[in-house]
A and B are shown apart, each in its own frame.
Chain A
Amino acid sequence: MNGILLALIGLVVYALGFRFYSKYVAQKIFRLDPNYVTPAHRYKDGVDYVPTNKFVLWGHHFTSVAGAAPILGPAIAVYWGWLPAVLWVVLGTVFAAGVHDFGTLVLSVRNKGQSVGTLAHKLVGQRAKILFLFIILILVLMVNAVFAWVISNLFVSYPSSVIPVFIQIPLAIWIGYAVYKRSKKMLLPSLAALVVMYVTAVIASRVDFLQIDLVAYMGGADADGLFGLGARNSAFLIWIVILMIYVYIASTLPVWKLLQPRDFINSHQLVVGLLILYLGLVFTNPEVAAPAFNSNATDVSWFPLLFITIACGAISGFHGLVSSGTSSKQLDKETDARFVGYGGAVGEGILALISIIAVVTLFSGTDAFSAVYSSFGEASASGLGNFVEGAAVLAQGLAIPSDIAATIVSVIVVSFAATTLDTSVRLMRYIIAELGVEYKVPTLTKTHVATSIAVVSSAILVVLPEGGGRGFGAGGYLLWPLFGTSNQLLAGISLLLISIWLKRQGRNYAVTLIPMIFLMFMTLWAMFQQVVFQWSWFGSDSNMLLFVLGAIIFVFAVWIVLTAFQALSGRITPPVDEDKKDVG
């Protein structure tokens, strides 16, 4: 199979999905009304509620939802061969993610721009809201652990990416200062910052002493390192500690100081990354020599694990938070929801598609592929590294030397992951504080108490699972399926809410109910398999921490399914309040 052809097929399906399926959903199911007064107009305040041009809103929506997750998931999932991964990414985007992102946007627009959490309370009741809070808490905990692992791993594997990533921090603070205190335009400063970062990356790739290689400092991979842990483990541990100190500081600063200006730079990086990969694909014209189905993948079945390995890129509950949290308050016309919501999901799908292609075009044949993707554990641990290598090969088509390309690609991935980490530690801090208010524990509402809890629990989670004796760094991937599961559960709840809303409007709710049932079934099954056969005390890879976390998520999932049946069969009546006419 030719790489360009594979990309073209995917893009054509996306285009057809957008042209026809989303149109059908918009007209027949959601029945979008161009004359409906959206919250942006109804509650216009110039701050949260601002009618915004649909292209601008799409750009913002897309840059908010796209990150490192749609890269990492597909890079692991190609273990079962490229065909299952491509099919799930493409069909998932068209039939699940598109409808989900679009649906949460419409649901929120039709309900005063309220967020999914508030809507859960209104449509199903108090229980759903608490469930929702806990799922988000677990999700952000997983995000913290997984992305801390991603960054540390890339820092250990690509020491030349350390300085370009760290130089982004003072640059971002400078932009924040320039833009907010002197109200300058932000395009030029943020582009200048990007150039400085990439120039640093180029120099660091070629100048040895600019590469912060902790493993080499400790005397090579065979050295004892700290506390006799081995050099690689120690390096990993040191990076985790540094990262945790960093996120502690970053997540307690005001957003405009560091987080927002970093987002400006990262939006450029998203554009640069997509351009490098797609143009590189066109210029190198690579063959996909990796197997369509990996017949050696016998240790872990693709069914149902594929559906939680690729979460972002196929369907992700996190998008619903963005759709209903910010985008719904800025939608100019209701009919724009199709372009912003469905279009945002398609954008993410395009990123996931090129991630798969970058990984699978790296290998010269089935043997080379099997040597790297020898087991699911190996695939998970080295997936991201393979993406960086594969992307570097594509970048060579644009005459960028592969070592420099590898540094730049890992800088891009680390930047995405770092911003996500930053945001999610902040989010976790808010949720802990909210739980403190709910359960009357005033200590939890204090910023530094909540942040400490968030940071320490995330650090423990990333260091504890040891990955079958291969050390700390190898164990983080075990958390990936848990991340996927909690993300899918969140998507499941949102789809459920849309279905309930559609049913109460007397419309056909199959378009959201079918993906929801599919998603919940796969998630439940995959979790059950992992919790019982892998992580329990008699499992193959017994691990109490993962067992407890997995069991909690499993119970939540069952709870959601039961609530879903009750709500859909009409046994739950919506709580009565003054907004009822808007909901039911």
Chain B
Amino acid sequence: MLDKVKKLIEYYEEVLSMPHRQEIARELRNEEDLFLLLLYSEMIGIPNPVYYYTLELYPYMIEKFHDWHLRMGMEKSPLTGIRCC
């Protein structure tokens, strides 16, 4: 019985937190996008003094970058420097 009540409360909590989770995820994604821009701004012509070092992150970022350009409505990578697909 107690288990069932617990399950019910968990279910209720999940229903409540659905839009909340979405909003948090959206905020996080926007921050990530900004971070990406900061790292690779050189590729779109904004001078970036630490570009040489940020390039080291390239292997870790490549999948996220792929998701990003798909989300932005570009089927292929817009940057010749990053060849993800």
Contact = CB atoms under 8 A, between A and B. Distances in A.
Interface stretch (A45-53, A102-110, A393-401): A45-53
Nearest to B30: A47
B18 interface: yes
A187 B23 contact: no
B38 interface: no
Contacts of B17: 185-186
Contact of B67 (A45, A267, A330): A45
B19 A60 contact: yes
B25 A63 contact: no
A60 B15 contact: yes
Interface in B1-54: 9, 11-26, 29
Given A55-B11, A56-B14, A260 B25 contact: no
Interface in A132-148: none
A434 interface: no
Contacts of A221: none
A260 B11 contact: no
Nearest to B19: A260
Given A56-B11, A187-B9, A47 B16 contact: no
Interface residues of A, number: 27
A114 B15 CA distance: 23
Q: Which DSSP category, helix, strand, loop or mixed, fits chain A's interface?
A: helix
B22 A56 contact: no
A259 B67 CA distance: 30
A226 interface: no
Nearest to B17: A186
Contacts of A50: 21-22
B10 to A, nearest CB: 9
B31 to A, nearest CB: 12
B9 A263 contact: no
A60 B11 CA distance: 11
A18 interface: no
A121 B18 CA distance: 30
B16 A187 contact: yes
Contacts of A45: 29, 67, 71
Interface of A: 45-48, 50, 52-53, 55-57, 59-60, 63, 179-180, 183, 185-187, 190, 255-256, 260, 263-264, 267, 330
Given A185-B13, A267-B15, 5 more contacts: A56-B18, A59-B11, A187-B13, A256-B23, A267-B16
